A and B are shown apart, each in its own frame.
Chain A
Amino acid sequence: MQRKLFSSLIVGAALAVTAQAQTVDTSEWVCEFCPFEDGHRAHFEAGATNVSEDSAYFGDATGYDEDGAYANVDGSGMYTGANTRLRWLAEDLGLDSRVIELDGRLPGSLDFNLGYRELPRRQFNTTATIFDRSGSDTLSLPSGWANAGTTSGMTQLASSLVPLNIERDRSIFDLGAGFVASDRWRFSMDYRRQDQDGLKITGGSSFAQASLLPMPFDYVTDEIDIAVRYDVDNGFIAVGWYLSDFSNDNSALTWEQPYSFDPLIGNDTFAIAQAPDNQFQQVSLQAGYSFTEQKTVVSLSAAIGDIEQDASMLPYTVTSSVPTSPLPRTSLNGSVDTTNFALAVTSRVIDKGRIKFSYRFDERDNNTAQDVWNRVIVDTFASTALETNIPYSFERSSLSLSADYDLLDTVRVSAGYDRKDIDRDFQEVAEQTEDIGWGRLRWQPTSALELDVRGGASERDIDSYNEVFAASIGQNPLLRKYNLAYRYREFGDLSMSFSSDKYSVTLNALYADDSYTDSELGITSGEELRVAADFNWTIAENASLYVTAGLEDMESKQSGSEAFAAPDWSATHDDDFTTVGVGFRIRNLAEKVDLQMDYLRSDGASEIIVDTALGGPSEFPELESVLDYLRFRLSYRQSERLELTLNLLYQRFKAEDWALAGVRPATIPVVLSLGAEPYSPDVYAIGIGFRYRVGAHTKD
């Protein structure tokens, strides 16, 4: 493999010399048959689509969330001038998922890109709330509301519910530029702004009850990425600066308590904090070098960063009658230092083999000062316990070493060893290591057939599980958190491919088996099987067909202890997923017609069984999500420039979800929900339109 790598480099270098030297006499290469473009070339597509019914699921990301007619315009084009090339793209201009892009090269070796993209997220359109959202960050009860201890006692509930869609919109604006100042120097700059606003569902709790709240939010994230790069022969070095600045217009969400409250305390209004403004800056260094003589390539990345968060805090409570001590500080003055380092080296040590080494280091050092806080429990009464904030920090490193060897012309064997270390502060496990060993065999008897098999095992170990610390945060000492626990894993994967002029078949499979043998409580085992396959058939020069399939089975087992002692219950969580896709393409049928059809069926099913010492096994109804998706497109070429199009889209999605099914706002006695229902859209969309090409002038 490494031999090939260096061949690439050397061939590349040689050809670069060839091209740069321009030693070939091209004076007679006039290229009179070359249809060089000059001016504009573009196509526009316009049409109307009718959507059969309202559906948040169908409209999610697409913008087709309501029934009725949509007008839409798409297009793309290119402008070619003497020293300028511009490319533009417009998609879904009539929808909430519109995209506009412009990029190109201007005189003076200046590349640029400009883009605007909208992304509608539609979560539920079956929801309803009692809250009046007249204030952006305040939810008020309707007039005449009768508070009650449980939802069933809320006499005004049914009459107060107002339909409210849970949805949000994201828009992304980006501007980038790159400038090649010389053979050695390059500069690049990217700016991106993401605006996101809408509603999220968030839980707001009182002492023994909760309300699901439609929380308005208004986020802006600005990112700037600037880099300067210097190229040397066979290598480069670059430094960069990255800024990500997040701001949220809403610092809190306040809501009036719909449940009964103590008039003496006056806890009729509650507040939760929203995501605070924060800023991340990072300075980075990247370098790469090819030691051609030594047949070695080195690539390095290093970065140091700083996350700051100093948004003003809310008071301990909005309930004025609850006595509170002064806040230790009014804003967090939070600061996290980050360090990243990565080094990768590949080298061909012998003719038939190569070695690869990589090392990564990743540190999050949370320097936020600790203080003692005296919380007010759900805006109702002061806690008697003082609490100290915990600034989590960790160091994570990963070392990887692998080697390939060409045993035969058709057989390559590989082996590798990985070592991962994580050191953490303020957690049950301070030091954790994982050793991974694997072997791989690749057999390629012909260029058309390839078989690749890999297998290995890993052992994740810990210095000790600090049960004293676990007890200090109230954990059962027998629990082993799955990301901190000892784990032994066996894994293997297989891939196979065959191709001919007409057919290609590929198959990938993966298996992993996890044992958490030291865990009495928590996850005790896990098993995963994934298989995916493709079949492609080129039926004729203008016709092709494909079939895709995928299967997944992921099962995990865990234990718990209701008695806060030894395990007295267990649970099995089994996720299955199958998907099948089939489609065809036919082009130039009777030199006029293009046909395209894609059908997809995906079936997700999750089975949960909870087995308790007292009650025995309890099997939940299957969580199921079945998607049928059909897309058909026909285009008829009326002329060289004009095409007529017909689009048909059908989607049926059926979800069985016990967390939502039958859960109306008053179903749970102590949770006032929004009544979201499982998705069950059965939607079709039919669109007609035309596509028109313009331009495509060629130079004489």
Chain B
Amino acid sequence: MKLLIQAVFIAALLLMAVPSAHGQDAEYSRKGADTCIACHGDAEIMTLFHTKHGAPSNSQGPFGDGQLQCEACHGPGGAHAGRVRRGQERPSVIRFVADSATPVEEQNGMCLACHQNDVGFSWHTGAHPGDEIGCADCHDLHASADAVRQTSTQPDVCFTCHQMQRSETRKAFSHPIFEGKMDCMGCHNMHGDNAATQLARLNVNDTCQQCHAEKRGPYLWEHAPVSEDCGLCHAPHGSNHPGMLTKRAPLLCQSCHSQSGHPSIPQDAGGLAGGSPSQFLLGQSCTNCHSQVHGSNHPSGSRLMR
């Protein structure tokens, strides 16, 4: 049954593409945007004309010559703008709001009609459409400045759903996201990518090394987890510990290093400044000496001390 409805709907849409004998499609409004603005001339809506969607110079845009203006996105508005009998509900156009009667996929279809090539096909295989995220959940098309396209305001848009990541960015040590100096898109491709967690590049390290290329090496003396996955030691959204480490040294290092001697010695609170200050605990802990934890290119650097 649903297939039939869908087929009828598609057929109807395709029929819209065919001009009537009179060259006039009755489904659309008579005067285009003028019809719409007569009722919907609120300031928040009219800011569309501050954007490229509202610019006639954008020939491919809704207000380009011969384009469908408001109805390019909101669909045919003839019935919506027409007369309705008393007590009859006014037919709706496609609305891009949370309580819209228009299904999300249909909303997105309107955007993808023009932006499929911009968004890419991995959008369809990514996580967002699977969770019924609409384009308009992130993009504000009528705003002078779309918040999700600006570094300082983008994270707040993402955090609407990704609340745990927001919490993490408020930790004492994090990327400068809270300060508005870095956005989510620096590391993630929201429109979907084939990388895990929609990373900007195809794996974690390639993504981190866009900005931290000094860690890339290859070094003469490599530290195995570094070349494999930065996330083995770092929490990229934020941490209670300096360097966004997942836990405090020396325990972090002792998770993997058990050599005889100081790597295996437990460091207790007696080694703090008020007791017998320990070089294994205070200051930079293990990296007081093994400072080249990301690798060393020094011929004598096998212990990551040079």
Contact = CB atoms under 8 A, between A and B. Distances in A.
B92 interface: no
B34 A235 contact: no
Contact of B72 (A19, A60, A344): A19
Contacts of B16: 14, 18, 23
Interface residues of B, number: 154
Contacts of A10: 6, 10, 109
Interface in A452-486: 473-476, 478-479, 481-483
A364 interface: yes
Interface string A557-580: 010111010000101010101010
B292 A272 contact: yes
B268 A615 contact: yes
Nearest to A569: B266
B286 to A, nearest CB: 9
B13 A11 contact: yes
Given A76-B145, A522-B256, A610 B282 contact: no
Contact of B277 (A298, A548, A663): A663
A62 interface: yes
Interface string B213-235: 11111111110110111001000
B121 A28 contact: no
Interface string B139-166: 0000001000011100000001101101
Given A334-B220, A577-B240, A301 B193 contact: yes
A231 B116 CA distance: 10
B31 A340 contact: no
A437 interface: no
A35 B46 contact: yes
SS class of chain B's interface: helix, strand, loop or mixed? loop
A471 to B, nearest CB: 10
A311 to B, nearest CB: 6
B243 to A, nearest CB: 10
B273 A362 contact: no
Interface stretch (A47-55, A138-146, A256-264, A312-320): A312-320
Nearest to A314: B298
A641 to B, nearest CB: 15
A602 B171 contact: yes
Contacts of B213: 219, 221, 244, 246, 278, 280
A544 interface: no
Contacts of A387: 302
A699 B142 CA distance: 19
Nearest to B2: A351
A593 interface: no
Contact of A85 (B52, B113, B120, B219): B52
B164 A510 contact: yes
Given A31-B63, A604-B171, A275 B222 contact: no
Interface stretch (A153-161, A373-381, A683-691): A373-381
A223 B210 contact: yes
A300 B282 CA distance: 49
B87 interface: no
Given A15-B113, A19-B113, A619-B269, A313 B298 contact: yes
Contacts, number: 530
Contact of A668 (B31, B38, B112, B282): B282
A26 interface: yes
Contacts of A346: 124-125
A564 B283 CA distance: 26
Interface string A491-506: 0000000010000001
Interface in B107-125: 108-114, 116-117, 120-122, 124-125
A627 interface: yes
B104 interface: yes
Contacts of A522: 255-256, 258
A219 B99 CA distance: 50
A340 B193 CA distance: 13
B269 A313 contact: no
Contacts of B151: 99
Given A34-B63, A203-B284, A392 B52 contact: no
Contact of A316 (B34, B228, B299): B299
A4 B132 contact: yes
A430 interface: no
Interface string A155-179: 0000000000000000000000000
Contacts of A3: 2, 6, 105
Nearest to B34: A33
Interface stretch (A129-137, A530-538, A632-640): A530-538
Nearest to A213: B291
B299 A314 contact: yes
Contacts of B55: 36-37, 80, 85
A662 interface: yes
B34 A32 contact: yes
A204 interface: yes
B151 to A, nearest CB: 7
A623 B240 CA distance: 8
Contacts of A658: 269, 272-273, 282
Smallest CB-CB A-B distances: 10 pairs: A288-B121, A550-B167, A29-B32, A11-B109, A342-B194, A4-B105, A618-B268, A532-B163, A61-B176, A662-B273
10 contacts: A8-B124, A12-B110, A30-B34, A280-B216, A299-B120, A362-B202, A389-B220, A404-B130, A608-B251, A623-B248
Given A476-B264, A573-B247, 17 more contacts: A7-B109, A11-B9, A12-B110, A14-B113, A16-B116, A18-B16, A24-B28, A35-B46, A80-B57, A91-B152, A332-B219, A364-B228, A550-B164, A564-B264, A606-B241, A618-B268, A623-B248
